[in-house]
Structure 1
Amino acid sequence: MFKRRGNDMPKDLRRLRPVFSRWMSLRHWRSQLVFWIGGLLVGVVAVLVAKVADGAQALFHLGVAKVGWLPLVITPVGFAISAFAARRWFPGSQGSGIPQVIAATEIVRHNPKGLDRLVSLRVVLGKTALLFLGLLTGASIGREGPTVQIGAALMRMTGRIGGIVSNESALLLAGGAAGVAAAFNTPLAGIVFAIEELGKSFEQRTSGTVIFTVMLAGIASLGMVGDYIYFGHSDAHLQPLPDTLAVLVCGLGGGALGGLFARILVFCNKRLGRVFNGFFERRRILFAALCGLSVALIGVVSGTDIFGTGYSEARSLLGGADTGSPLFGVLKWVSTLLSSASGIPGGLFAPSLSTGAGLGADMHWLLPVAPLGTMVLLGMVAYFSGVVQSPLTSFVIVMEMTNSHNMVMPLIAASVLAYSVSRLICPRPLYHSLSQTFIDEERRMRRSEAASTGA
């Protein structure tokens, strides 16, 4: 018996040899260093992007406070300039940025050279500048989606500088997840987002590296702005039986409106050419200007602050305060849809969360089955889950952003219910539908290049 055990020992050691070799490899530690530096860089840049976005919104509100009709002039002009610049000088920067990262994780498998159009230094500069312009002129957009694309681009550039080009898929995944974590100060949400939304590229072999990169991005963000809760602490709670109706009301309503938003946005992205014989498809800049004018009219005529991210309004609603308009949720829904459909660079996360908060308040006014703060919180998670169709990410991000750990089960229930309802209206997730546009465009360009080379 002892002899057999002695003969087995070399076999066990041989099994561990690849592990030891890897940990002693200079290439392994260089790769890890690239991810660590990239994670810290993404965290720092995410904070800078947040500062730029907040400054742009502050300047816009300062101007509107002095000249109430100012949005009627600058908003359509800003939309037109942003749409033109995105199409002419910064192709690949339009929209949220998350579809581009999803497309990049697919394109990198077949044509790594095709990533330059989606995740490059040019895109980083263009996305940041046009995000600033959009918020400066009153667009209902957020900075979180752009931060995901910027994070993926920065990680890819860091990998190239460090000589790590064979694992670009993991770099893109880590950069995008780190962008979410640093933008919202929600590291757990960044990890869940990487698994749920970018799951095709999430491999067991690189999972530890990705998670540690997300943590470093969060640490960098905390080091610059301190520990904070994005929307502040929520005291929302549910009673066992009567207030359970709030989950059903918000889950069904938020899921339906979120699915409708996604369905219309996908239609505008892919089938706008079928409307009015392709008039708006051929005149995208004019379409963007008309979207901007519509947003300005909604804000000025209603007297409701539907511009920008909607952060202040959502935070007020969570605290039980009034936004000044009972239709804030509906108007924010329309203004965000117009801003996203216009094609200007800008994200959906923050506007969707503020829209959900407003819709939760509206549902509380119609069916007061639970306290206002509770309905607002459930509306946020339900509507956001309905739009992006990522129930785990939605639940975790709202829980971390409001520190509402006492609402874990209701938040999960509302998120899953909204996801199920949304899938009935928009069968394919929004970001994946939008990413297909970039994937198809890359394929056409590759075929065109192959045909010209063959000729």
Structure 2
Amino acid sequence: MILKELLTQIARLFLALVLGNLIGLATFAFYSSVVFAMEIWKLEVPGNFVSLEDISYSPTLAIFMFGGSILAGFIFNMLEGPRSHGPADLMVSIRREELPNLKGGFLTSLLTIVSVSSGSSVGMFGPIIHFGGCIAASLEKFFKLLSRGVILAAGGAAGIAALFSAPIAACIFAHEMLLRRFRSTESAPVVMAALGGYFGAVMVLGDDRRFLSVMGDPPPLDPTSLCFAIIVGILSGLLSSLYIYLIGSGPVWAKSTKVHPILRPLIPASFLYLISPFFPQLIGPGMLSVNMALAGEFTFYLLIVLAFLKVFATAFCRSFGFHGGILLPAVFFGAMLGSAFDVALGNGGHLYAILGAAACTGSAIGAPIAAVVILFEMSGDYRFVILALVSVSLSCQISRTLIGRSTWDRGLFLRGISLEDENSQQAKLKKIIRDQKDKKKS
């Protein structure tokens, strides 16, 4: 009996590893197709505002952006609603122990590939999570030793680990946001799937990928740097709250315009192309610009403008069907905000940019611990963790109080769906009862 149970558990881990490998290879195909397209229309990114004499429009970008937006419109119109799918739908499926809408999920993945390849000002994090979950769901019959919730969470974790070379953060995120619980029986399969996804991507992409390039030494752990980290956290929380609000409310505004779904992506595409010579940093996910901000290559006023423009550009694109993820844009405007703080200090450092990126990311995805870990796995530099935790904690608390736990939770709330766990509900009930007792006493 014990031997049978042991063999069953080993088989579960092996199956999770295989599942992760398959999703890692699929993620490679997803990522490679996007990078290939972006390399064709890649724009030069200046460190200051562009003068009128240097304004020029890229015909290659025009072909990709307008052609891609038309194709995106047709795909978007094929979705029910039409509404794009994402991690929020995966969370609901995990909570309800049901399969996600596979047709909607894979159509959204295709929509993301087309949109990001065409220069939409969005990311790939959320779509990859949902893509991995949908692949896992479609293969469920081959992995019956794993529960449905674990299969879906493992699929999402494998996608994150493969794309961002961040297996540790992938495991934490799967528990912190997807499963929203930590159970010993679920942790091991999720870990193995994340490692499988990571190994699958490493086999074809190599293990030297770093999305972020952090330069210099971290600020000293003294009262001054702690105060600065607190200020960065507060500002990040406020800016992230605006971001979450716009992302959640945007689709409602887009529908109210009565523009046909097929034509909607053309609107943000036209806007992005119009401003592309002035702000090429906003075209695509913008990781090159993030690294330039970390290196201190942008001027103060440009950083401020880029931070706010990215918030509006991403919300605009997603609202009108030019779909993509929300994490990389949060990294972008967080890095711009933190880098502006560095420039304002005038000490020659460019180190609070990483704190701003971590803080805004934590607020956007509602997973503060995973946000810190994923950014430092993406950069390979863990020396900023202590101060980053300060900024992230403040930012997440502010945005959670003002607007909700995450961008995805906000979207579900507007759809009338709540993923609050029983402990949270019980805590609120106890607070209500306690407040009523206090009123009676007074």
- TM-score bracket, normalised by the shorter chain, equals 0.7 to 0.9
Separation of aligned partners in 2, 1:36 and 1:439 = 36
Q: Check conservation: 2:339, 2:351, Cα contact below 8 A.
A: no
Q: How does 1:99-118 map to 2 (within 5 A)?
A: 99-108=88-97, 112=98, 115=99, 117=101
Q: Check conservation: 1:60, 1:136, Cα contact below 8 A.
A: no
The question of 1:159 aligning with 2:140 is answered: yes
Separation of aligned partners in 2, 1:84 and 1:135 = 16
Q: 1:256 aligns with which of 214, 238, 241?
A: 238
Q: Check conservation: 1:356, 1:376, Cα contact below 8 A.
A: yes
Aligned residues with identical type, % of pairs: 19
Q: Could you tell me which residue of structure 1 aligns to residue 270 of structure 2?
A: 293
Change (3 A) 1:106 1:370: farther
Q: 2:249 aligns with which of 258, 267, 271?
A: 267
Stretch deviating more after TM superposition (188-197 or 315-324): 315-324
Q: Could you tell me which residue of structure 1 aligns to residue 427 of structure 2?
A: none
The question of 1:206 aligning with 2:186 is answered: yes
Instruction: Give, in angstroms, the shift of residue 247 of structure 1.
Output: 0.6
**Cα deviation code 1:32-87 (max 9, x no counterpart):** 44322111111112222211111121123279998436656764663354144123
The question of 1:332 aligning with 2:310 is answered: yes
Q: How does 1:50-69 map to 2 (within 5 A)?
A: 50-61=31-42, 67-68=57-58
Q: Could you tell me which residue of structure 1 aligns to residue 200 of structure 2?
A: 220
Change (3 A) 1:289 1:90: same
Instruction: Give, in angstroms, the shift of residue 355 of structure 1.
Output: 1.9
The question of 1:180 aligning with 2:170 is answered: no
Separation of aligned partners in 2, 1:200 and 1:390 = 10
Structure 1 counterpart SS, 2:234? helix
Change (3 A) 1:364 1:377: same
Instruction: Give, in angstroms, the shift of residue 313 of structure 1.
Output: 0.8
* Equivalences, count: 404
Instruction: Give, in angstroms, the shift of residue 187 of structure 1.
Output: 0.8
Q: Could you tell me which residue of structure 2 aligns to residue 94 of structure 1?
A: 84
Q: Check conservation: 2:73, 2:263, Cα contact below 8 A.
A: no
RMSD: 3.1
Instruction: Give, in angstroms, the shift of residue 374 of structure 1.
Output: 0.9
Question: Which letter maps to 1:226?
Answer: G
Change (3 A) 1:330 1:211: same
Separation of aligned partners in 1, 2:317 and 2:402 = 21
Structure 1 counterpart SS, 2:334? helix
Change (3 A) 1:149 1:180: same
Q: How does 1:362-377 map to 2 (within 5 A)?
A: 362-365=340-343, 367-368=344-345, 371-377=348-354
Instruction: Give, in angstroms, the shift of residue 281 of structure 1.
Output: 5.5
Q: Could you tell me which residue of structure 1 aligns to residue 25 of structure 2?
A: 44
**Cα deviation code 1:424-445 (max 9, x no counterpart):** 32134221232457786xxxxx
Separation of aligned partners in 2, 1:153 and 1:427 = 26
The question of 1:171 aligning with 2:161 is answered: no
Q: Could you tell me which residue of structure 1 aligns to residue 125 of structure 2?
A: 144
Stretch deviating more after TM superposition (181-190 or 57-66): 57-66
Instruction: Give, in angstroms, the shift of residue 192 of structure 1.
Output: 0.9
Q: Could you tell me which residue of structure 2 aligns to residue 319 of structure 1?
A: 295
Question: Which letter maps to 1:247?
Answer: A
Q: Check conservation: 1:148, 1:177, Cα contact below 8 A.
A: yes
Instruction: Give, in angstroms, the shift of residue 101 of structure 1.
Output: 1.3
Instruction: Give, in angstroms, the shift of residue 128 of structure 1.
Output: 4.1
Structure 1 counterpart SS, 2:323? coil
Q: Check conservation: 1:131, 1:345, Cα contact below 8 A.
A: yes
The question of 1:306 aligning with 2:282 is answered: yes
- Structure 2 segments unaligned to the other structure (5+ residues): 46-54, 418-442
Separation of aligned partners in 1, 2:400 and 2:341 = 21
- Structure 1 segments unaligned to the other structure (5+ residues): 1-16, 441-455
Question: Which letter maps to 1:51?
Answer: S
The question of 1:85 aligning with 2:89 is answered: no
The question of 1:230 aligning with 2:220 is answered: no
**Cα deviation code 1:333-372 (max 9, x no counterpart):** 221121222233311122221221122222334x317654
Q: Check conservation: 1:364, 1:375, Cα contact below 8 A.
A: yes
Q: Could you tell me which residue of structure 2 aligns to residue 348 of structure 1?
A: 326
Q: Check conservation: 1:139, 1:292, Cα contact below 8 A.
A: yes
Separation of aligned partners in 1, 2:409 and 2:182 = 16
Separation of aligned partners in 2, 1:116 and 1:439 = 18
Structure 2 counterpart SS, 1:210? helix
Question: Which letter maps to 1:230?
Answer: F
